[in-house]
Structures are given as C-alpha cells and as structure tokens.
Chains A and B, each alone.
Chain A
Amino acid sequence: MKGSRCLHQLKSLRLLSHAGRLLPPAAAGNNGALFRPRSSSQLGGLQCAQREVLRHFHSSPACTKGQPARFLQEEDKTRDKSLVTHDDLFEQVAKEAKTKATFNKVIDVYTKGDIRRRGHVEFIYAALKKMPEFGVEKDLTVYNKLLDVFPKEVFVPRNFIQRMFNHYPRQQECGVQVLEQMENYGIMPNIETKVLLVQIFGEKTHPMRKYQRIMYWFPKFKHVNPFPIPEQLPEDPVDLARFSLTRMANDWDAKVTVYQLPCTDVTESGAEVTLPHIVGIQSPGQMEALAKHNPDRPVFVEGPFPLWMRKTCVYYYVLRADPTPPEEKIEEPYDPERCLSYPLQLDLDLDRDLGDDESFDVEDLDEGPVFAMCMTSQGDQATLNQWISGLQESNPILGQIPTLFRLGAGPRELQGVGDADSASRSWFPSHVQREEAHPGEEAEAVVEEEPRRSQGVKQ
C-alpha cells in the first residue's frame, strides 16, 4: 500500500517536473532552433498533437526529420564544433577529475543539451562503462539519474499487441543492462528506481521484471553471509590486524594483544628505523593447550598466509605444533571422586544402540593445534621472535619449548616484485592491497556477496 502511494506521489511529482524541464528552454525563446521543432510539430499535425498531449517527446518522425539535426549541430558548436561520441564526452570531463560530481555533470549536460535525448541508449551504455572509472559504480543515486535519461512514457506499451511483442527492444534491453550492472555491484534499487521504470517502460516489461527479480532475491541474500565484512575496513594497520585476527579466531574469549605499535625512529647514525606493528591473538583454550604441550616437541612459527577481505589482502602467522602422536595422547582416567553429586560415568557394559547413534561418520584429520596467531608489517624472524617473547609472558612454557621458524617467501610471489630485499623489508604497505574506498552512502541497500565474489575473481 505504502509503496503504491509513494509511487503515485512520485509520479505526479515527476509529471510536474517534466513540465518544468520543458518549459525553461521554451520560455527562454531566444533560440529559434529550439522553438521551432515544437511549433513545427504543432503545425505538422494539430490533431496528432492533441491526441498525444501527454507524450511530449513522441512526435511523428517524418515531419521533424530536418530540424533536430540542425539543433544537434548547433549544440555541437558549443563543444569544439566536432561530432563527439559519448565516450569522448566522459573522457573530456575525466581530464579534470573523475568524481561523482563530474559524472553527474556529464549526465546533466547530456539531458539538458538534447531535448529529444537523441542517442540516449548509446549514452547510457557509455555511462555504464565509465561508472567504475568515476568510482560511482556503487552509487544508487547515479543509477537512478542514469535511468532518468530515458524519455518517459514513450516506450510504455499502450495496447495488448505492443505488450505482447517486445516493445522498443533496444531501450528495454538497455534498461535491463542498467539494472544488471546494479545487480552485479550489489546495489539494491529503491522505490525511485521503480517509479522511473514504470514511467519509462511501464508495468510488466522486461526492465520491470528484472527489477522485481532483483527485489525478490536481494533481500533474501542480504544476510546470507554469517560473517559479513564491513563495507569500510579500518585504515590503520593495527586496527585492521585486530579486526582480521578476531575474525579468523572467531572465539569470543580470544584476546588480542598489541605487542608493538608501529613507529618511526631515527637512530644516532641518522638512519630511519621503522618499527613494525605486531598484533597477536590467543584464546584461553589455546593457552591451556600450549601449557599442556610436551616441551620436547618443537612448536613452529609458520607463515605468511594470505587473508583476503574484500579487496584487501593481509598476511598472518601462526604458532602451531605437529599433531600429538597417538602414543603420547593420554586420556584422563575417570576419577570416581571427581563429582560430589552424581556419577560422571556409569559402570555399565552397554553401548549406545545403533538406532540412536545420530553422529556422522566423519574422517578426522589431526592437523595439530594452533596456539596463537599474529599479524605484523614485517615478517622477518627478528620481528616474529619479538612476538614469541611477548607471548612468553603469558605462556611461560614457551621458554622451554624449542621454537622453529618456517617462514615462506609468501607475499613476494603474489606481488611479483623481483627485488627480494625490498620486498622483505617493506612489503606490507604495498601489500595491504587496497582499492579506493567507495562511497558508502547506500550501505544499507548494498548486498555484499555477489559483487565481492566477482570482484575477487577479477583481481
């Protein structure tokens, strides 16, 4: 109910604004070329004009053929007097700055420039292609503005035959394409989009169907990920490390410790020394497991392992041990004097019946325990040693256990940079691979899953 009422209001509003948009150039009246097509159409067929009083743009193609060409030419004169494709239009603006404002300006220039919106399909395709470049590919308002480029009412089928056949297929396809791109970026259309589509294409057309499909599935999938990543990841590497470690550990009791904050020092010799940050995480359960670890068996510091979060990749290290060999596994013997109130085990020679055995047959692969994880900007042994000594404060047993470092080349391979030295020294800043933050205005309307996957693959 609410939606339809809203639709109605918006519709009437839009009609008003249509009138408004048409009026200024006509009222200005100083441009003969502009005025002429209107009058000519009126002249060309009075009865026709009367019948189509609402369809402002739809005029008989035959009688207005000559005039718009002239109009275009005149328009072109203002733009270096050359025939420009729409791509170029964007490129020209892009020379200044690629922002939402300039993108909107291009659309405005186009809509205001040509009252007939000639070539709007091409323009929209070009705009769609340029959107990521301008960083507006996740901006719902821009999509709506783009849809607004379509002339209204013209493509709405008006009888059952038109409705049956594909009415204005190119335009419909273009409309679908706009929605498709929105879908790919996980942008959920809003009521304004719907109003626009109804005005442009009418009910039960392909773009409308597309819209309905999106509106059916997007809300269903919005919270499908039980571990959502926020739209905006923390900028500070320490915060980012804290966030990703907590996310990986997925343990409420796990405690994050910052062993070292990043800072820059100048030594006496004048050389600049950058101290890397070291952030670790450990849960009480892990501490307990480490305390029970047999000190004769070494523990390993392994890494770096990559962790992708949206378009950011971070690297982490783990402290782990080999799985305990079966001969060392001692099951705690049942102590009948453990529980003061009731027997913890029954002294019976009966096992569970097969009918009540609801467990699955799962092949367990013993992987060996992970005792702690850390993230640092500098994955050399000295830094990681600092982490281990920090851990030792809360896990004194680490002082007795031999610790082996098994560090892989890790990030270098991914980075593909030849210089091993520089890579090992300072790969982190370049390695927190990050793309521009995107305007998160429609954060609540954004569905995360699908675009992330596709983007990840693209990368």
Chain B
Amino acid sequence: MMNMNRLIVFSRTFRIGQRLLGCHARHAGKEELRLQQRRSIKTHSRHLAYAKDLFLGQVNKAEVFPYPEIGNDELEEIKQLVAPVEKFFSDDVDSAKIDREATIPPETLQGLKDLGLFGIMIPEEYGGLGLSNTIYARLNEIIALDGSIAVTLAAHQAIGLKGILIAGNEAQKQKYLPKLASGEHIAAFCLTEPGSGSDAASIQTRAILSEDGKHYLINGSKIWISNGGMADIMTVFARTEVEVDGVKKDKISAFIVERAFGGITNGKPEDKLGIRGSNTCELSFDNVPVPVENVIGEIGGGFKIAMNILNSGRFSMGSSCAGMIKKLIELTSEYATTRKQFNKSLSEFGMIQEKFAMMALNAFVMESMAYLTAGMMDRPGIPDCSLEAAMVKVFSSEGGWICVSEALQVLGGLGYTKNYPFERFVRDCRILPIFEGTNEILRMYIALTGMQYAGKILTGKIKEMKKGNIGLVIGMVSKKLRASLGASVDLGLTGKDGVVHPSLEDSAKKLEQNVSLFGSTVESLLYRYGKTIVDEQLVLKRVADVLIHIYAMTAVLSRASRSISIGLRNHDHEVLLANTFCNDAFFKNNYWMVQLQKHSPENNDANIKKIAKQVLENRAYICSHPLERTY
C-alpha cells in the first residue's frame, strides 16, 4: 500500500512536470522530448483504480481527491475556444431546421470545420487542436445543444478516427489524421452488423488476403453506421484468418478503409426518432481492396482495439447531458417564472420547484462525474477509466432523459408542440441510453468488471470461510455486529487527514457507510454466487446502480469540497446540491443493498422472472380481460 501511494505521488510530480513541459513544448517545439517523457511515464502506468477498489469496500481517496484541476493557461485556452463555439451554436445553427430536414446544411458543417471541432483531440502535430479529455468534455457541453451535430462529431472523432489515434502507426497517422482533423475527410466506425451489437460472433464481414499479399479484400455489410453516408475514412472491423499455435482461427482485425478504394455502397439514411440530422445508414462492402499497410495494430488484434475505442468514448456524455440540462433550465425557468396560474406564478408551486431542483441536481452530478473522469483520464500514463466512463454514461443518459421529460412537463401542452424545442430534446435524448453500448450492457460491464477484480482478491478468504474457518467467521460477524450497532465507519474522508470539507462531513460519512456496506455486500454476493453471478442480471443491475451512485457521491463531494476550499462563486449552492444528492443516494443505495442481501423470493426477483417467463412464453399479455366472465 505504501509503495502504491509513493508511486502515485511519484506520478503526480511527473504530471506536473509534464504539464509544465508540455506548455513550453507547445511554444518551443520540443516535440521529441515531450514524446520521450510521455513514453517514460507510460511504464509507470496506473494500477490503482478508484471504482474497482470500491468493490473491496475501500475508498482510494488519493485517486479522486482533490478534484482534478486544469492549469491557468489551459483555462485561458478553453475560454478562448468556447466563446466562438458558443456564438456559432447560438447564431448559426438552426436545430429545428436540421431536425425538420434531417440533414446538417453544408455551411453549418463548414463552420464546424473552421472552428476545428473535427479534430479536437487529434494532436497538434497532425493538425488537430490536441486538447485534453477535459477540454473535449467542456466543448461537448456546447456541441450537445444540437443532438445531430453532437452525434456526427462524436461518430467522427470519439469512435471513427479513434482507432488510428490510439492504435495506428506513425505512417497511418501522418497519412490520415491531418485531413480528418481539418474535417476534409469525415470518419465513421463500422462495427455493428445485423445480429447483435455487442456480439463479436455476429461479425460476418470478412477480409481475405489477396494472392499477391498486398491487399485485403473486404466483403460484407454493416448496419447503423453513423456518418455512413458521408464518411470518407472508415474504421472497419472484419474477420480474418489468423494462425495461432499452428491452428487457423478466425479473428477480428481493424482496417482503415477509404471510400476511394471503391466497392463501398451505402443504403438510404435511416428515418430516426431523434438526432434526425445525423446520417445513419447501412454500408456494404463488395470486394473492397484494402492495402495491408492499412491494418490498424496487428492483424487479429481488432477485438482489443474495438473495445478500447468503445470504452474511451463514453465519458463525454456526462458533460453533454449537463450542458443540455443547463440550457433546458434556462429555457423553462423563464416560462415558469412568467406564467401565472391562480394569480401565482408557476415557480411558486412545489411540484414545479421540485422539477427545477431535480434538473439542477442532475446537471451538477453529471458535471462532477464527467470532469472527475476526464481529469482521471488526462493523467499521465494510460489510466484505465473505462469503468468510470461507463458509469458516467449510464448515469447521465438516464438522468438526461428524466430531466428532458420533466422540462417538457413544466410547459405542459406547449412543450408537446413543435413550437418549442422540448419535444426535439426529448426525441434526441432518447438515443442516449441506447447507443455507445446500451445501459443494460454497460451495467453488466460495470458490475462484472468489479466483481472479477474483487473476486480475484477475495477468493482465498471466501474459500476459507466456506471451509469453516472459525476465526474469519467470528471476524465477519463481529464486523457486522459493530456496523449494525451503529459504529461509524471511518475510511479517512473526514477527520484529521480528511479530504472532504467539514460542511460536507455528514455526506462523506454516508458515503463511507455506503462503501463499507457495499464491500461486505460484494463479498457476500461472491460467497453466494461465485462465478455464476454472471447469470444473475438482476443482482448485477443493483450492484451497478449502487456503484454508480457511490461514484456520483464521490464526485460531488470532491467537487464541492474543492469549490468551498478555493472559494468559487456560489459554492454554498454546490454544498447544498451535494448534500441533497448524497442524502438521496444514500437511501437508494441502502435500499438496493438490503435487496442484494436477500434471496430472490424476498426481493421480488423470482417473481419478476416468473412474470416475464409467462408473458414471453405466450408472447402476449395473458390476463383475461376484466370484463370477461365464466358463467
């Protein structure tokens, strides 16, 4: 443990150094040195992970406290960037028209390109803006005001060209990134095929090496490709035959495919509920010749690349949703304060007030989670934040959906008409829980990744317990007894070496209590289910929900503590929000964890499964009509 801590401190100093160095490098052009530095840091890659340790009932406070900050110059940079983008989105983007005509006008696209939004994360040496994840998240707050543009840009740079960025070789980067960064070429990510999106076995597109060994010929078709109709460069995943230990095996490989290679046709754009301006269509590949040098990474290594791309793109949804909700609050609060009913303005009604409080809370939590995660990702090395990013995505997509719908509710019937943008927000927002990995699948990922991690560590202990090791059992029982007698859990968030501001002490205590109970819950789940927990989706769902809320609590505590400490404007409001949210989440978590400790007949799981089984067997709602009679 000590060792680890030292390592963190070590890497921190490096980070600061690197940042300082980076600033100079930008001006002095010491690219070589900078790269060198980065590489040397990579070897000290982060092993600790905040979310994973929660499964063991530990708060790894060094990971999340203090709340990540950016340097002053970076902040300046953001401000300079954000202003024109904001101006562009408020003046030049007609979202209603994009939605109505289901296409983004070329002049709008050109404006986006001119702002450099097509290459936010592409390093400067390849012509991009070379911005960090944090700034990317900040820009997404504004971009998200138009769902279609947000999706188009995300498909381009969060997944479309990410493959080249993270796994491509220097030649590929040199060749493709500059044009992609300028927006001259638009990228798309072609993974999904008919069948299921997450099942690699459904990938039937095949790449066969030509006889001269210089080309791969790709055949197959892909569905639901964002930007499919306009993309010039595509990251395509296809099956290839690979020899592993003398046995020929089908493995997935990633290719950079240019539309100019020929043989690519796209279908009609899908007519969607929301994000109508984004182009989604089917792509088919007919003997598309791809030069061997266009293989990303090594042949057969496509699976890892796909997973990395998907895992890295999700964190920004938190800031996108937060940006959208902030906008919604502005739009609706004007209506709520001006409209009168019974000689009172709407804003005086408790139920309307509740909606605004909820929106503010959600925006605050999403923001906190998103920037905490982005900050973690911006640390040197290649920190594995996929778990945190998935949590941000699940929380913000669901919170966003509720907020949008409540905002519409404030306006009542007016919100339901096309005269107001709310219906469009509702439609656009509906995609969030679906794409970039459905929330169901992400919950599985969140819970199972943590379970796997905790299981590895706890296996020995659980086996001892199953054998009937008296000492361990007594230890467990006494721990539980102490907890039930109300002994407070101290995980070091407050008190002498505390990291949480005293005004948030209660909330921090709640978080600690939740974490400690979560640790023992996970242990008992592993004891009860072992590896068969994979099949207990209802259990895993609760595990994921608890973890998401614990992470959210952490994020708001960390953020609010920093805000008070450095005296940000309205930090008292932040404290209020943080305490409210923690209170709420504490109860929810406790409820879920109590359910997790029960057996399926008591927590309704057995019933839920039975109902679903009977309904699905008959493929219908099977109750007799209440007006039916038998005699």
Contacts and interface: CB of A to CB of B under 8 A. Distances in A.
A219 B628 CA distance: 12
Given A218-B631, A340-B310, A342-B448, A350 B462 contact: yes
A319 B303 CA distance: 41
Contacts of B624: 223
A355 B199 contact: no
A345 B456 CA distance: 13
Contact of A346 (B197, B251, B448, B631): B448
User: Which of A340, A343, A358 lies at the interface centre, i.e. has the most chain B CB atoms within 10 A of its CB?
Assistant: A340
Interface in B288-326: 303, 306-307, 310
A128 B630 CA distance: 26
Contacts of A445: 631
Contacts of A311: none
Contact of B455 (A222, A252, A346, A356): A346
Interface string A323-355: 000000000000101111111111111111101
B201 interface: yes
A348 B631 contact: no
Contacts of A219: 630-631
A215 interface: yes
A345 B437 contact: no
A147 interface: no
A340 B530 contact: no
B530 A353 contact: yes
Interface string B447-478: 01101100110010011001000000000000
B531 A346 contact: yes
B544 to A, nearest CB: 10
A339 B441 CA distance: 10
B599 A356 contact: yes
Given A188-B631, A338-B201, A341-B444, A348 B456 contact: yes
B418 interface: no
Interface in B17-44: none
Contact of A340 (B200, B251, B448, B619): B200
B100 to A, nearest CB: 35
A339 B200 contact: yes
A343 B252 contact: no
Contact of B532 (A190, A220, A351): A351
B527 interface: yes
B580 interface: no
Interface in A243-291: 252
A142 to B, nearest CB: 19
A351 B437 CA distance: 29
B526 A343 contact: no
A341 B310 contact: yes
Nearest to B599: A356
B140 to A, nearest CB: 22
B442 interface: yes
Contact of A341 (B198, B599, B619, B631): B198
B531 A345 contact: yes
Q: Provide the main secondary structure of the chain A interface.
A: loop
B303 A343 contact: no
Contacts of A190: 631
A337 B237 CA distance: 13
A223 B199 CA distance: 42
User: Which of A223, A337, A348 lies at the interface centre, i.e. has the most chain B CB atoms within 10 A of its CB?
Assistant: A348
A336 to B, nearest CB: 9
B445 interface: yes
A445 B631 CA distance: 6
A352 B532 contact: yes
Contact of A352 (B448, B530, B619): B530
B10 interface: no
B251 A337 contact: yes
A219 B624 CA distance: 13
Interface in B595-611: 599-600
B527 A341 contact: no
Interface in B230-266: 251-252
B449 A337 contact: no
B534 interface: yes
A344 B531 contact: no
Nearest to B460: A349
Given A218-B631, A350-B459, A350-B530, A343 B448 contact: yes
Nearest to B251: A337
A356 B631 contact: no
B533 interface: yes
A353 B306 CA distance: 36
B161 to A, nearest CB: 19
Contact of B452 (A222, A348, A351): A348
A222 B306 CA distance: 57
Given A222-B630, A346-B534, A352-B530, A337 B441 contact: no
Nearest to A189: B631
B200 A337 contact: yes
Contacts of B444: 341-342
B528 interface: yes
A353 B528 contact: yes
B529 interface: yes
Contact of B530 (A222, A252, A351): A351
A341 B532 contact: no
Contact of B445 (A338, A341, A350, A353): A341
A424 B410 CA distance: 78
A348 B303 contact: no
A347 B631 contact: no
Contacts of A346: 448, 451-452, 455, 531, 533-534
A349 B532 CA distance: 10
A340 B192 CA distance: 11
A190 B310 CA distance: 67
Contacts of A339: 198-200
Contacts of A356: 528-529, 599
B445 A348 contact: no
Given A350-B462, A358-B600, A337 B303 contact: yes
A357 to B, nearest CB: 9
A48 B452 CA distance: 98
Contacts of A222: 630-631
Contact of A342 (B445, B456, B526): B445
Contacts of B527: 350, 353
B531 A341 contact: no
Contacts of A343: 448-449, 452, 534
A345 B530 contact: no
A341 B534 contact: no
Contacts of B201: 335, 338
A351 B449 contact: no
Contacts of B466: 353
A350 B455 contact: yes
Nearest to B601: A358
A339 B303 CA distance: 9
B534 A350 contact: no
B441 A341 contact: yes
Contacts of B197: 340
A200 B462 CA distance: 77
Nearest to B447: A342
A448 to B, nearest CB: 12
A342 B456 CA distance: 17
Contacts of A350: 455, 459, 462-463, 526-527, 530-531
A337 B531 contact: no
27 contacts: A218-B630, A219-B630, A252-B619, A335-B200, A335-B201, A337-B252, A338-B199, A338-B201, A339-B200, A340-B197, A340-B198, A340-B303, A341-B437, A342-B445, A342-B449, A343-B448, A343-B452, A346-B533, A348-B452, A348-B456, A350-B455, A350-B530, A351-B531, A352-B528, A355-B528, A356-B529, A445-B631
Q: Which 6 pairs from chain A and chain B are nearest by CB?
A: A350-B530, A219-B630, A342-B445, A348-B455, A348-B531, A337-B303
Given A339-B200, A340-B310, 4 more contacts: A339-B199, A340-B199, A346-B534, A349-B459
Interface of A: 188, 190, 215, 218-220, 222-223, 252, 335, 337-353, 355-356, 358, 445
